[in-house]
Structure 1
Amino acid sequence: MEAALVSVATGVLKPVIGKLTVLLGNEYKRFKTVRKEIKSLTNELAAMEAFLLKMSEEEDPDVQDKVWMNEVRELSYDMEDAIDDFMQSIGDKDEKPDGFIEKIKNSLGKLGKMKAHRRIGKEIQDLKKQIKEVGERNARYKGRQTFTSTKNETVDPRALAIFEHASNLVGIDEPKAEIIKLLAQEDVRASTQQQQQQLKIVSIVGSGGMGKTTLANQVYKELKGQYECWAFVSVSRNPDMANILRTILSEVAKKDYATTEAGNIQQLISEIIDFLADKRYFVVVDDIWDVDTWDIIKRAFPATSSTIRIITTTRMNSVTHLCCSSFSGHIYNIRALDMVHSRQLFHTRLFKSDEDCPSYLQEISKQILKKCDGLPLAIIAISGLLANTEKTKVLWNQVKDSIGHALERNPSVEGMMKILSLSYFDLPPYLKICLLYLSMYLEDSTIEKEDLIRRWIAEGFIHREGRYTAYELGERCFNELLNRGLI
């Protein structure tokens, strides 16, 4: 999650740039000698902020960029302190003194302000020099990197989950039966024409690691044999739409179109529509991240007089509502595992079929499962880590205490971190910094919504914009994080 640190750097730069902009305003125009330096420094920081925002989109920035980003962050703290000291020392305005003593005080005050004036000028020059040195050093050493490093990509656990045998899946039977029932039942709200077309969609929604893909795949395996054509396609966060449409065409037509480059998006949609016309088909569109993606894919599914079933999975409430409004549909909110199923999954990964959890580990196991909060991916990752750990109370307590900290560096949970971090990387920059700020609170503490929003505003993450107050925009940020299942 190094890119999270990049977003922290962008978050601390923004208020610094804002304060420098204030110093360039009319209120401080009398400080002509330092205005040029302030303007130059502001431009330099604005360029840095733009670069950091671009870096925050990268899931794994290189080592040199991380070092540079940390230096920028520390310098921004120094700059903010210097600006705050300067603004406090000069005061908002010069008042005319009344009386001899007041004139003396005023003269001394002006002397102090002149010193503050000279000090801020020198500090700004020093900070500007440091900023340039940091940038030049970063460019110098990056320029010497004449080699490329090949990384072993982490295998996406979702790609492996669809090959899991049903007998190994815990807590799958009830939700699978519910999805099948939703796909089978008639919609009383649908028109006669819609009922005749028999086009039904179920959109499964939930946060990362909840098992949406696994659930959709189990339903797909059970039902696809009842249809003439079927397809299972994963979209992902940065989809290649032409490739996705070629995959759908390949699967429904049972011919290999996936490796061809022929046909643009419009042609591929037309080919899929022509092939599926008057056919009974069943399609799963997995892992949709935005409404625009679904708006393209849905056009490939003709509403014919034959029976049609579609399942979508997504983390986004906005996507699932659009999926269901496109056709006659149902929203299925996937649930976390209850404690019984969580314990069953945990124990089957750790102990043999004829072996029970030792009594001295039962309470620790319960506490670990409470931290996993019914998230199958987290339970699987952490039980995988414990499987290679000696079954002692001391070591298991260490694992329990390290969840959320040391675990993210452990290879056993790389897959889990990769899946869960996708939701973070999909956030716009202003939401990333708001989400990261939550790490300021102690684990398991109660966070007051109003207090959190006001802290965001005080830190300079959110500003008044147009007809909306800063607090109203803060509420919108809060609600968006809530809707994405991140808080």
Structure 2
Amino acid sequence: MAEGAVVQALIKIRSAFGETALPFLKEFIKKEAALLLELPELAKCIRGELDMINSFLLQVRSKIHSTDNEVLKRWVVRVRQVAYRVEDIIDEYTHNVALLQDQSYLIRKMREAYNVRTFHSIATGLKEVSDEIKQLSEMKTKYAEYFGELLSNSNANTQAHLSRDGSLHTVKEGIVGMTVEMDLLNSWLAPYDLSRVVLSVWGLFGLGKTTLVRKVYESMKEQKSFDCYSWIEVPHTYNNDVILRQLIRDLSEDQSQVPGNLESMYGSKLVDILSGVLTNKRYLIVLDNVWDAAAFHGISSFLMDSGKASRIIITTRTSDVASLAQDTYKLKLKPLGDDDAMELFCRRAFHNSNKVCPPHLDDLCKQIVRKCGGLPSAIYAIGNVLAVREKTEVAWKIMNDQFQCMLEDNPGLGEVRSALSVSILFLPRHLKNCFLYCSLFPQNYRLSRESLVKLWTAEGFITKRGSSTLEEVADEYLMELIRGSLLQLLETDEIGRVAFCKMHDIVRDLALSYSRKEMFGLSDGDLQTDQKEDVRRLSISKCNKRVGSILEFPRLRTFITTNGGAESDLLHSLIQKSKYLAVLELQDSPIDIIPANIGELFNLHYLGLRRTNVKSLPKSIEKLTNLETLDVKYTGVDVLPKDICKLKKLRHLFAEKLIDRNRQVFRYFKGMQLPHGFSHMNEIQTLETVEATKDSIELLGKLTALRTLWVENVHRVDCTKLFASLSEMENLSSLLVSASDEYEVLNFDSFSPSEMKLQKLIIRGCLENDTFDKLVFKNLGFHIKYLSLSSSRLGNDPFPLLAKNMKNLIYLSIRKWCCAEEVALRKDWFPRLTTLFLGDMKQVHTVVIEPSAVESLEALYLVSLTAMTAIPTGLELVGSLRKLVVWGQSDDFKLEWKRENWEMKLRHVPEIRI
């Protein structure tokens, strides 16, 4: 995994020396000219050497992972240390070049001696690093016998071993907890469909994909349901000719007909032989553990469809490969339920007795099984380990307490480690650091997409792709990890994007062991390390004074606290002892003062203070010239200091004060006024939230790069200028506009962008009756997917105009709205709507849903519609409905619900709350 550090160093070099900053050095620093002029050449040399080392590491990654050779292990450690050192030096270089460019001629002359010393130190550091990298390269020749081992042909065998699904449980004994899945798979193999069908079985490592398919496959062979069979384990690095030869051998009924010179045949000759073998045959072929679509296409193209109901089964961990199967033939496996998990565990742990857990071990068994997270491979392997242990509470408690360590080094759990190792080792290099980063958060932590995207960007993990922003690229990285089953999707937002995800407990434990070994990052339990010089990232969830006293990590780049784990003393210590910090996430911590010396963190890209007690930001914040994200949301900060206008790289600013936690008043949150000079913040993409003063509205007109804007305390007289400013923001995708009070009427007449892909719109305040028939919504309303309206006291029915101009709505919420007595959703009005929220609409007494009005609706919320006495007409016809929440309704409504037995009428709805 050292290549993750190497890749990061390469990214920094390309970024720093791709700029035209060096002329400043040549012109203003006369002394030590020879050494300084070597800087770009040194960087070029280092980049070339690191590129070669990285290519080598990628080629031999599986062997390095499994080798016991101490020479190779030490070499990899040195590579990692050198790469980290390169990253630190380049960050210092980039920072000082930026300072130099910002200095006036006079200041440069005054600071000439200091600048000479600074850049001389940087050049010297790079020269030392360059020499060490050369030594590392020379070591490969000096110790050729050791490095030759890595390049041996056994690499393919290692990959094949690593690529096995670790869930080898109960193939002979009988599968636990998969009866439904086995029946489904058997039904798909029946010859009802005579065409060749591709099926996929997919999911997280260790779920038993291979075991399930093997069970069905062997059953088909016993029953002779097909004419011929083949099981192919597809290695990560595959060769079509090798696979073709195996198919010919497996599928040939008469082995004497297999050509004796098969091994010397290649390409089209092998295809011709395979075609002959498959002519008029009904075959069953399993492609086990397919990693990418190219591998499948390369094999599938040789397998003819002779109309005999042949079947190809793919097992895979990625949703991309699973999607190669027809829609009705995809089976996604889920973790075992508690009862099935316990049954499987007891079968293994107590197989020599009655396969029942003794009463005195019951609680410990449940705890151990719970830590396996429903993964059959882990349950089976740990059951085997414990089967030979004494059946005493002491012995089993040790296993429970040392669960994570056991996963790392217990030989009996090697299959579990290997199953995940291959997922990590063969991750695309741009994803490795992002994946390991997720392991730093606590077990079962809900990882927010918005936070991860900003953190990864601040860390420098994201590289530009075409015209996409870094944040958009990071979004795609996250989706790649989810599609590869390395992260589990927990929740999507209202328009279908990832909102929250998590790491499976065992995936996290093993990923964290990689992070620890690579010094990529540590969590709470690892603070007592002897390698503090190398530690790059630290995450803690609990803090005490002892933690602050041992926090001495001079090259720490990231500090993240969850659950309010940082105190003021700890913050002071961090700033003093960790000058390379790039990420400082302190949300929910009991901190009330930010030390003035925070300005010394020249490399800080992310400062998170959400829900802390901080009341002001120090003037020294102006020195954080690399800061990209500043989050002071829900703090005590009332005023944004003018000093933040010097943070030219700032991309995301969250600054909003919570006035009423219960949200009982209209203006329950308050935005910040933008300081003079903010108009020069050309990189700013997110502003949450701005108070609509005359000056702030004036400044907004110049922030054309904005993508997310929340603006509150808007008066009608502000609307012309405000919406004229917003019309210039072509990239705006999310907008909140909140009036000064619930009686204020907002006028959208001047909102007339020529081009804008606004997807999310939140409006709080009164609207004129024809608002949604204005030009902006006629022309651009089809882009809007999320619409939230609240607190309009004008008596119009918005639905007809919304249906006319916003056909693509996915989420619609209307609250505290004066409306007609009847709300009707007509045929074909909202074909894509999945969530509808109607709340606090006091006049509404009837809701009518016509057939096909909302044919995609999954969630319906009816909250405090106190005048509504009858169940919505047509509700039972909404076949897509999965959730119904009714709250605060009249007694008459509740009586009709019971009298008409609506629970039965809506039995197709899984979740109903009345």
TM range (shorter): 0.7 to 0.9
Partner of 1:283: 285
Task: Provide the secondary structure at the position in 2 that maps to 1:313.
Answer: strand
What is residue 66 of structure 1 aligned with on the other side? 73
Q: CA deviation at 1:467?
A: 0.8
Equivalent position SS for 1:453:
helix
1:41 match: 42
Q: Is the 8 A contact 2:175 2:212 kept in 1?
A: no
Q: State the alpha-carbon separation in 1 of the partners of residues 259 and 419 from structure 2.
A: 25
Per the TM alignment, residue 471 of structure 1 is displaced from its structure 2 partner at its CA by 0.7
Question: Is the CA contact (8 Å cut-off) linking 1:350 and 1:384 kept in structure 2?
Answer: yes
Task: Report the Cα distance in structure 2 between the residues aligned to 1:6 and 1:158, rounded to whole angstroms.
Answer: 24
TM-score normalised according to structure 1 size = 0.83
Cα drift, residue 11 of structure 1: 2.8
Structure 2 residue 175 is matched with structure 1 residue 169: yes
Superposed CA RMSD: 3.3
Does the 8 A contact of 1:59 with 1:425 survive in 2?
Answer: yes
Cα drift, residue 365 of structure 1? 2.2
- The answer to whether the 8 A contact 1:269-1:299 is kept is no
What is the match of residue 486 of structure 1?
486
> Which structure 2 residues correspond to residues 90-101 of structure 1 after superposition, within 5 A?
91-97=100-106
CA shift, 1:241, in A, is 2.0
Q: Distance in 1 between matches of 2:270 and 2:250?
A: 13
1:174 is displaced (CA, Å) by 2.4
Hey, what's the Cα distance between the residues in 2 that align with 1:278 and 1:324?
23
Consecutive unaligned residues of structure 2, counting only runs of 5 or more, are: 488-914
Residue 60 of structure 1 aligns to which amino acid in structure 2? Answer: K
Look up the match of 2:739: none
Contact 1:157–1:416 at 8 Å: present in 2 too?
Answer: no
Q: Distance in 2 between matches of 1:64 and 1:168?
A: 45
Q: 1:24 to 1:111 in 2, by over 3 A?
A: closer
Match of 1:125 in 2: 127
Q: Deviations over 1:307-360 (max 9, x none)?
A: 3233222222222222438xxx61111222111111111111111342532334
Once the two structures are overlaid, the 10-residue window that deviates more, 439-448 or 386-395, is: 386-395
Residues 397-425 of structure 1, C-alpha deviation per residue, up to 9 Å, x if partnerless? 44334444442222111122112222222
Counterpart of 2:376 in structure 1 is 376
Q: Is the counterpart of residue 112 in structure 1 residue 114 in structure 2?
A: yes
Deviation at 1:59, TM superposition (A): 0.8
Match of 1:240 in 2: 239
Per-residue displacement from partner, 1:450-482 (whole Å, max 9, x unpaired)?
222222111211122221111111111100010
* Distance change >3 Å, CA 389–CA 45, structure 1 → 2: farther
Q: Distance between the aligned counterparts of 1:157 and 1:75, measured in 2?
A: 31
| TM-superposed deviation, 1:483 | 0.2
Seen in structure 2, the aligned counterparts of structure 1 residues 24 and 382 have a Cα distance that, compared at 3 Å, is farther
Contact 2:228–2:282, Cα closer than 8 Å, also in 1: yes
Q: Is the 8 A contact 1:12 1:73 kept in 2?
A: no
- State the secondary structure of the residue aligned to 2:354: coil
Contact 1:247 1:258 in 2 (8 A): no
Identify if the C-alpha distance between structure 1 residues 395 and 444 changes in structure 2 by more than 3 Å, giving closer, same or farther. farther
The worse-fitting range, judged by mean Cα deviation, of 426-435 and 469-478 is 426-435
Residue number in structure 2 paired with 1:190: none
| Distance in 2 between residues matched to 1:80 and 1:280, nearest whole Å | 58
Separation (CA, whole Å) in 2 of partners of 1:160 and 1:88:
47
| 1:320 to 1:445, Cα distance in 2 relative to 1, 3 A | closer
Aligned position for 1:457 = 457
Shift of 1:179: 0.8
Deviation at 1:285, TM superposition (A): 2.5
Greater Cα shift, 147-156 or 52-61:
147-156
Contact 1:21 1:42 in 2 (8 A): no
Structure 1 residues 198 and 144: CA distance shift in structure 2, 3 A: closer
1:192 corresponds to? none
Aligned to 2:468: 468
1:178 counterpart residue number: 184
1:411 aligns with 2:411: yes
Q: Name the one with the larger strand percent.
A: 2
Residues 72/415 of structure 1: CA separation in 2 closer, same or farther (3 Å cut): same
* CA distance, structure 1, for counterparts of residue 461 and residue 403 of structure 2: 28
Question: Where does residue 10 of structure 1 map in the other structure?
Answer: 7
Q: How does 1:127-206 map to 2 (within 5 A)?
A: 127-136=129-138, 138-139=139-140, 141-143=142-144, 145=146, 158=164, 165-184=171-190, 197-206=194-203
Q: Percent identity?
A: 25
How far the C-alpha of 1:265 sits from its partner, in A, is 3.1
> Per-residue CA shift, 1:261-297, capped at 9, x if unaligned?
1432322233222332223333323222222222132
User: How many residues matched?
Assistant: 464
Tell me: CA distance 1:34–1:470, structure 2 relative to 1, closer, same or farther (3 Å).
Answer: farther
Q: 1:147 to 1:240 in 2, by over 3 A?
A: closer
Indicate the structure with greater helix content.
1
Q: Summarize the Cα distance change of 1:155–1:92 in structure 2 as closer, same or farther, 3 Å threshold.
A: closer
Displacement after TM superposition at 1:238 (Å): 2.1
Q: Which residue of 2 aligns with 1:55?
A: 57
Q: Which has the higher contact order (CA 8 A, sep 6+)?
A: 1
Are the aligned partners of 2:169 and 2:376 in contact in 1 as well (CA < 8 Å)? Answer: no
For 2:185 and 2:371, the matched residues in 1 are separated by 28
CA–CA distance in 2 between the matches of 1:248 and 1:348?
A: 36
Q: How many angstroms does 1:301 deviate by?
A: 2.6
Partner Cα separation in structure 2 for residue 146 and residue 322 of structure 1: 39
Q: 1:130 to 1:453 in 2, by over 3 A?
A: same
The whole-number CA distance in structure 1 between the counterparts of 2:296 and 2:148 is 40
CA distance in 1, matches of 2:11, 2:394: 44
Please say if residues 381 and 413 of structure 1, whose CA atoms lie closer than 8 Å, have aligned partners that are also in contact.
Answer: yes
Three-state SS of the structure 1 residue aligned to 2:198 is strand
Segment of structure 1 superposing worse, 280-289 or 146-155: 146-155
Evaluate the alpha carbon distance shift between residue 124 and residue 291 of structure 1 in structure 2; reply closer, same or farther with a 3 A threshold: closer
**Contact 1:205 1:333 (C-alpha < 8 Å) held by counterparts:** yes
Cα offset, 1:41, TM superposition: 2.6
Letter of the aligned partner of 1:241 in structure 2? N
SS in 1 for 2:143: helix
Q: Is the 8 A contact 2:322 2:330 kept in 1?
A: yes
**Match of residue 420 from structure 2:** 420
Which residue number in structure 2 is paired with residue 228 of structure 1? 227
Cα distance in 1 for partners of 2:93, 2:265 equals 63
Q: Does 1:430 align with 2:437?
A: no
Give the counterpart letter for 1:115 in structure 2: R
Counterpart residue number, 2:270: 268
* C-alpha contact 1:273 1:300 (8 A) present in aligned 2: yes
Structure 1 stretch displaced more, 344-353 or 76-85: 76-85
Aligned-partner Cα distance in 1 for 2:285–2:232: 8
2:89/2:122 contact within 8 Å kept = yes
Secondary structure at 1:468 match in 2: coil
CA distance in 2, matches of 1:82, 1:233: 48
Moved more, 336-345 or 238-247: 238-247
Q: 1:158 deviation in Å?
A: 4.8
**In the alignment, which residue of structure 2 is the partner of 1:100?**
none
The answer (yes or no) to whether the contact 1:37–1:124 under 8 Å persists in 2 is: no
Task: Give 1:223's aligned amino acid.
Answer: M
CA gap of 1:348–1:71, structure 2 versus 1, over 3 A, is same
Cα distance in 2 for residues equivalent to 1:9 and 1:394: 45
1:208-250 superposed Cα distances (whole Å, 9 cap, x missing partner): 2221111112212223312332333322322232232222222
